[in-house]
């Protein structure tokens, strides 16, 4: 099966990566480049103290909150920009501005203006992501079919039916694209936000390990979180996308 | 119940993208009687689809008015292209405009079967041939039990046998449940076969060039010889002059 084949290739490719890493670690032979077993041991240690799970959950909660806000606000904004020429003319320079504002600037300003608290952290991440979502969904809204909108109007679909059966299915690929690139961006930025101004989470843990030059723990956390994000991609986004694309030839 | 009175003082498509402005209609009027079957004939690009869009209320950007003899008539519109929702199955496409009742479902399934699409009810439209998609769009328009049925060249891209079957089906459905029909076609045989009034349009701007009542009996309509004779006599067409 194609899926098994793809899985096989992924496994092979990851295996080669781990092998190269292991060889490099053996050659360098330094605490600063631990070999895979050392990283796994660090992972187990962190897991046993319960710190790993706690920090992962905290970070995941932040990712979920800022991701949800960014998708909601970004989609609404993007659809508005796509449907209204006036709104597009008025607001797209802002979108471009925020799109190009470095994440770090937004984070620092959020902390400075709103204090070192949870809302500021989540807001900072969301603001970083909103322009991306808006730009993607704007493409989707611009491409909405007029033919189908007219059809829905003549057949008196009403607002809810039109949204559910005509508009949202057309936007689904754009939601998926925004969600996918969004997840990757959001979790990276959440770590930075945690590193700069939160007393817990993966980002905070990484900073503590950084100060101790504890590379094994850094890699252990990166590995754990990377796997979670991969699981979300494989277990949530891809199945949803497949279901949404069932109708395609 | 649904007579239509159309008066278009002016309908112009503004110039865009290098194309000059197009004045399609100026002082055009057409009265369509209740429960009549009017066939609209005319050269390509004249504005027939535009006319149906004005009547359907999809295009409100014109001077004039379209009045119906009843408030808010239910309109079934078989567009020139099928306009199905590709992400909904054939059956869902037909039932979506209908109230969610068992009767709607039965009617939809019945129509699909009559159109030879009984097996395709759960298929997504993009997996069907264009001719099949057109039939689904027709089923959707019929299933609504419309007060006014607008059809824009509904039988093109069907093979002759299928098109003939569907013409018979259309005639039968309308006999069963009379409704007002406006039917755009390039095929004058088809028009004579089905309609009780032929309106030949010319222009631009669009004007009614010929307006003929079709006086054939239902039996005569099924006889190709009679249909041809009528075409020649009334439209002044020689055999085969217009497809
Ligand atoms: N949205 C539009 N904007 C600009 N011009 C348009 C638009 N829609 C139609 N037209 C123009 O109006 C004219 C009439 O178009 P219409 O689709 O009504 O023709 P038609 O009589 O239905 O032709 P056919 O028999 O080929 O379907 C065409 O010349 C077309 O280019
Ligand atoms: Mg047309």
Cβ-based contacts of B85 with chain A (< 8 Å): 148, 165-166, 169
Per-residue confidence band for B241, with pLDDT thresholds at 50, 70 and 90: very low
Per-residue confidence band for B239, with pLDDT thresholds at 50, 70 and 90: very low
Q: What is the pLDDT of residues B55-90, one digit of tens each?
A: 998 888 888 888 888 888 899 999 989 999 999 999
Task: Please report, for chain A, the start and end positions of each structural domain, with discontinuous segments joined by +.
Answer: 36-244
- A and B: number of Cβ contacts within 8 A: 47
Cβ-based contacts of B83 with chain A (< 8 Å): 147-148, 150-151
Q: What is the pLDDT of residues B5-60, one digit of tens each?
A: 888 888 888 888 777 888 888 888 888 888 899 999 988 888 899 999 999 988 88
Residue B209 pLDDT exceeds 80:
yes
Task: Please report, for chain B, the start and end positions of each structural domain, with discontinuous segments joined by +.
Answer: 85-145
Tell the residue nearest (CA) to atom 17 of ligand 1.
B49
HSE (side-chain half, CA atoms, 13 Å) at B215: 6
Residue B172 pLDDT exceeds 70:
yes
Its ipTM equals 0.86
Best of B11, B19, B26, B49 for a ligand 1 pocket test (most atoms within 8 Å of beta carbon) = B49
Q: What is the pLDDT of residues A139-183, one digit of tens each?
A: 999 999 999 999 999 999 988 999 999 999 999 889 988 988 888
Q: Mean of the pLDDT values across residues B180-194?
A: 89
Judge contact between B206 and B175, C-beta under 8 A. no
Residue B238 pLDDT exceeds 60:
no
Q: Identify the segments of chain A with pLDDT beneath 70.
A: 1-3
Q: Sheet containing B207-213: which strands, arranged edge to edge?
A: B75-78, B148-152, B180-184, B37-41, B197-202, B207-213
Task: State how far the alpha carbon of A70 is from the alpha carbons of A9, A95, A199, B21, B42, in Å.
Answer: 34, 13, 23, 44, 53
pLDDT the model gives residue A141: 92
Q: How far is the CA of B122 from the centre of ligand 1 (A)?
A: 34
Q: How far is the CA of B218 from the centre of ligand 2 (A)?
A: 28
Cβ-based contacts of B144 with chain A (< 8 Å): 155
Q: What is the pLDDT of residues B120-157, one digit of tens each?
A: 999 999 999 888 899 999 999 999 889 999 999 988 87
The C-alpha atoms of residue B82 and residue B85 are separated, in whole angstroms, by 9
pLDDT the model gives residue B237: 59
What's the fold here for domain A36-244?
MetI-like fold (1.10.3720)
């Amino acid at each position: 099966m194609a899926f098994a084949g793809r899985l096989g290739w992924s496994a092979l490719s990851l295996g080669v990566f781990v092998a190269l890493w292991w060889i490099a670690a053996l050659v360098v032979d330094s605490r600063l480049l631990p070999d895979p077993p050392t990283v796994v041991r660090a992972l187990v240690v962190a897991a046993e103290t319960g710190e790993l799970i706690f920090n992962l959950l905290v970070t995941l909660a932040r990712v979920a909150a800022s991701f949800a806000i960014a998708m909601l606000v970004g989609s609404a904004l993007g659809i508005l920009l796509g449907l209204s020429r006036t709104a597009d003319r008025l607001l797209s320079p802002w979108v471009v501005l925020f799109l190009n504002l470095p994440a770090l600037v937004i984070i620092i300003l959020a902390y400075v203006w709103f204090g070192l608290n949870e809302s500021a952290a989540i807001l900072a991440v969301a603001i970083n992501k909103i322009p991306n979502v808006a730009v993607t969904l704007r493409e989707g809204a611009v491409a909405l079919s007029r033919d189908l909108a007219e059809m829905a109007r003549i057949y008196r679909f009403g607002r809810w039916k039109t949204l559910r059966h005509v508009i949202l299915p057309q936007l689904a690929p754009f939601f998926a694209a925004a969600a996918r690139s969004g997840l990757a961006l959001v979790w990276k930025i959440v770590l930075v936000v945690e590193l700069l101004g939160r007393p817990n989470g993966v980002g905070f843990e990484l900073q503590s390990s950084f100060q101790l030059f504890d590379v094994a723990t850094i890699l252990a956390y990166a590995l754990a979180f990377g796997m979670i994000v991969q699981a979300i991609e494989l277990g949530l986004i891809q199945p949803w996308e497949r279901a949404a694309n069932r109708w395609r030839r | 119940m649904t007579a239509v009175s159309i008066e278009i003082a002016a309908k112009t498509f503004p110039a865009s993208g290098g194309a000059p402005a197009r004045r399609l209609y100026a002082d055009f009027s057409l009265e369509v009687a209740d429960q009549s079957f009017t066939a609209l004939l005319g050269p390509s690009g004249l504005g027939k689809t535009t006319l149906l869009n004005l009547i359907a209320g999809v295009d409100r950007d014109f001077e004039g008015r379209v009045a119906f003899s009843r408030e808010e008539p239910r309109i079934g519109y078989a567009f020139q292209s099928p306009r199905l929702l590709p992400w909904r199955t054939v059956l869902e496409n037909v039932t979506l405009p209908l109230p969610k009742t068992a009767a709607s479902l039965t009617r939809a399934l019945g129509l699909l079967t009559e159109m030879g699409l009984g097996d395709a009810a759960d298929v997504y439209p993009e997996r069907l041939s264009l001719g099949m998609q057109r039939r689904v769009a027709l089923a959707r328009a019929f299933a609504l039990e419309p007060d006014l049925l607008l059809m824009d060249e509904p039988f093109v891209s069907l093979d002759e046998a299928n098109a003939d079957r569907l013409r018979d089906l259309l005639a039968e459905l309308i006999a069963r449940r009379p409704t007002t029909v406006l039917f755009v076609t390039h095929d004058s045989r088809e028009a004579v076969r089905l309609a009780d009034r032929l309106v030949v349009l010319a222009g631009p701007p669009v004007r009614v060039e010929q307006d003929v009542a079709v006086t054939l009996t239902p039996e005569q309509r099924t006889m190709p010889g009679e249909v041809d004779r009528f075409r020649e006599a009334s439209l002044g067409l020689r055999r085969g002059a217009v497809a």
